[in-house]
Amino acid sequence: MMVASGRLEAAIAGPQAVAGASGLLAAFNEGGALSPLEVHPAMVISRLWDESDQAVMLAAALAVRGTRFGHVCIRLDTQREAMVIEGQPPEVVEALPWPDPEEWMAAVSGSAMVGDGRGEEPLVLDGDRLYLERYFRHEERVVNLVGTRTAVPRATLSPESRTVLDELLPPVWEGRPNLQHVAAVSALTGRLTVVAGGPGTGKTYTVARMLAALARTSANFPRVALCAPTGKAAARLGEVIEALAAEAEHPIVRERLETLQTGTIHRLLGWAWGRARFAHHERNRLPHDIVVVDEMSMVSLPLAAKLIAAVRADATLVLVGDPYQLESIEAGTVLADIVGPAARSPDPAPRSSIPDAPAITDSVVVLERVHRFEEQGPIADFADAVRDADPDRAMDLLDRGVDGLHWVRDRTEAGFRGLRDRVTEHRAGLVRAASQPGSEEEALARLNGMAVLCANRDGPGSVEQWRRDIEGALDERFPGLRYRGEWYPGRPLMITKNDYNLGLYNGDIGVVVRTGQDTSVLFDRGGVRSFPPGYLGEHTTVHALTIHKSQGSQFDEVVVSLPLESSRLLTRELLYTAVTRASRRVTVVGPESAIRLGIERSVQRASGLRSRLWG
């Protein structure tokens, strides 16, 4: 996904010419390829380093642009083919005055403001990859820290620990090696373990039982930090641990698991307004013996570098996530790069025995067995087809119209009217339940029963369009409903800013209900939690929500509203993330051409992390 929204891009690109820009910078700015946010930094650093070569200045601006679009670095020889100008045909990019690739590389490599990473130059050229210096440092830090961790010899499990772990996670399941057991052993014996896999494969379940084994066998229970990039994801992780503690048969296990707390990565590292850096860093490391990071796919390269550096060298780091989900908002695809080719070869046997296998090989375990989607039903089959970039198989599944997987080709057809009526009826049921005192649990169940997921906030098929349609339909069914103000019963809302005092986090979804003469907002956080409306901080109505905001959530039924084919947001990762939010039913709204394009178009973020870790 773009770092800046389409509206911001439209506001800063093209028409806003940069005063003082000349030559290539001016041409690319006027052509809409470079915004002031990219041209100005290039002009400043060029002036500071006394660089007047237009090709080098253009490279600097493109490197800045790359990070804004999620790239850690850029390759000059592919910029012409890779560049997309929102709303413009490829011919506009082709018409720009691109430098000759060989001459361009020669000019950049010979520039005084381009170094090899050992000096203070603002740009770093590593092979054919050009970085902004700070992003090269972040990537280098991750490579070095991961390499240090994977080089440490593994410990040996005690007989007692192995016996307990075998009980909690059997080594063999249905005649096959249990990869959850492999992952838990890795986490208990190594300094770095990556537990990867799609939704429903039991990633969090595995980590929870690894911790239960520790709680049962450790003379001194280690200090454990459980964190995630968002408050919502951290809360979900905490709920899994709480559930495991509640069902634990051994009092010591229950007692120890109940002491564990979860929080955001920023809170763990000690972020605070006005502070130039986190409280915990490489010179003031975290005190914990084990650090577990859930939803790692949402973590950017800069944050990953700071987090890994803050973990003690003798501590265990466990990274958990789905490498096929939507990437972080900021630059980098850290989890996907660390998992690397292991995502395609989840061999439970030690891969270090393979000649020339990199050291990271034995630290990555990819779980495959699905324990959700009604046991590998049509939703999982469709998600697999999307993940595997197989549009023919995906379309075949949609064409069949099997139970649980549905397709509406066009917003003007009768099928869409039926879908809209279905969504409206669901929301009407939510209003009715929310209007009846004593029906709080039913209201929450309905809230989690269906979600409309969109790629964009505005435009055709967007969050805003669905909100208008649904609220308009509700006005017809319940005259005067919204004249009661924004706190009408059945209004679904999402918290948009963490509130640690209330224990509500960005992404938490609740519903407004009537309780006698009063109005409350309910949230399901391992139990019903109720708040007066006036207590809530920043929030928004979510009759529909963006696919990005849905990460970490699960619903019985999901409607996936695809964007226009021209949208840069339409990617394989977007569709995969949306579909895998559902456990029972998925309806995809969009023409075949958009679905095929989305499956075929993958997020291609430039980075050197994967090649530096895996060779």
> For the chain, what's the residue count?
615
Res. 112: pLDDT tops 90: yes
**What's the Cα-to-Cα distance from 469 to each of 460, 482, 558, rounded to whole Å?**
12, 14, 17
Give the homologous superfamily in CATH for domain 378-600.
P-loop containing nucleotide triphosphate hydrolases (3.40.50.300)
Are the CB atoms for 262 and 244 separated by under 8 Å? no
Nearest to 509 by CA among 488, 495, 490: 495
Cβ-Cβ contacts under 8 Å for 487 (sequence gap 6 or more): 512, 519, 533
Q: Is 346 left (phi over 0), alpha (psi -120 to 50) or beta?
A: beta
- Predicted confidence band of residue 370 (pLDDT cuts 50, 70, 90): low
Query: What sign does the CA torsion over 204, 205, 206, 208 have?
Result: positive
Domain 20-132 has CATH 3.40.50.10490: no
Q: Which two tokens stand for residue 5?
A: 């929204």
pLDDT tens digit sequence for 155-175? 988 898 899 899 888 888 877
b/e 4-33 (16+ beta carbons within 10 angstroms → b): bebeebeeebbeeebeebeebbbbbbbbbb
Res. 572: pLDDT tops 70: yes
Question: Strands, DSSP E only, in 18-122?
Answer: 73-74, 114-115
Cβ-Cβ contacts under 8 Å for 71 (sequence gap 6 or more): 331, 605, 606, 607
Name the DSSP class of 413.
S
Q: What are the boundaries of each domain within the chain?
A: 20-132, 152-371, 378-600
- Predicted confidence band of residue 355 (pLDDT cuts 50, 70, 90): low
Cβ-Cβ contacts under 8 Å for 171 (sequence gap 6 or more): 177, 178, 181
Q: Which two tokens stand for residue 545?
A: 């929500």
Nearest to 474 by CA among 417, 427, 410, 517: 427
Q: What is the pTM of this model?
A: 0.84
Domain 20-132 shares a fold with domain 378-600: no
- Kindly write down the DSSP assignment for every residue of 132-191, as one continuous string: EHHHHHHHHHHHHHHHHHHHSPPP---HHHHHHHHHHS-SEETTEE-HHHHHHHHHHHSS
pLDDT given for residue 243 in this prediction: 87
Q: Which two tokens stand for residue 235?
A: 């809360």
* Mean pLDDT for the stretch of residues 547-565: 86
* Mean pLDDT for the stretch of residues 242-261: 87
- Predicted confidence band of residue 592 (pLDDT cuts 50, 70, 90): very high
pLDDT given for residue 609 in this prediction: 95
* Mean pLDDT for the stretch of residues 59-78: 93
* Mean pLDDT for the stretch of residues 319-325: 91
Q: What mean pLDDT value characterizes the chain?
A: 86
Q: Which two tokens stand for residue 134?
A: 């700070």
CATH of 152-371, one of 3.40.190.10, 3.30.1330.40, 3.40.50.300, 3.40.50.2300: 3.40.50.300
CA R_g for the chain: 25
pLDDT tens digit sequence for 379-413? 888 999 999 999 999 999 999 878 889 999 887 77
